Amino acid sequence: MGDSIRDTAVSAALVVFGASGDLSPKSIAPALYGRAKRGVLNVPVIGVAVSKWSLARLRERAEDDIRDAGKLDDQNALRHLLSLLRDVDGDYNDPATFQSLKKVLGATPRPAHHLAMPLPLFATVIKRREAAGLTGQARMIVERPFGHDLAFAREALLYPRPGST
């Protein structure tokens, strides 16, 4: 029984909303690099942001973030991580951004959607994901917003502020 549960629990992609934001240098890029070093990161990592960055710029930022964290000591792991990165650039209020993400994901089963962005954008992203048909078997990971507790984040998800849709 344990094997069948484990098989259904695997996410086949990681989508990071807010990939160009403040959390990337502090935690996301170094954590992904650590997983690549251990040989356990083998799925596409799709950065979604309103940064107008190219894929090359996203990769450059990830490498800089890892270097700045003082953790860059395995070039093979870095190359592997950078090869997994994908980029979707667009405004979270624009349904086309989520259609682009849907196209990049294709038939990827059970993607994990990591919300690493300002709290006021949570409800917008959640609604746009749903409208684009991206929720199916997807998981959601909520990065705890700076200065707010989990109860505050839950309230924001259940009762979005006016104008956040």
pTM, 2 dp: 0.81
pLDDT in tens, 72-118: 999 999 999 999 999 999 999 999 999 999 999 998 989 999 998 88
Report all structural domains of the chain as residue ranges with CATH numbers, in order of start: 2-158 (3.40.50.720)
At 130, is the pLDDT very low, low, confident or very high (cuts 50, 70, 90)?
very high
**Mean pLDDT taken over the chain:** 84
* Mean pLDDT within 136-153: 67
pLDDT in tens, 14-41: 999 988 887 666 788 999 999 999 999 9
CB 62 within 8 A of CB 82: yes
pLDDT at 27: 83
Contacts made by residues 28-34, CB under 8 angstroms, sequence distance 24+: 28/65, 28/114, 28/116, 29/61, 29/62, 29/65, 29/66, 29/69, 30/65, 30/66, 30/69, 30/71, 32/62, 32/81, 33/62, 33/66, 33/71, 33/72, 33/77, 33/78, 33/81, 34/71
* Mean pLDDT within 5-21: 78
pLDDT at 155: 61
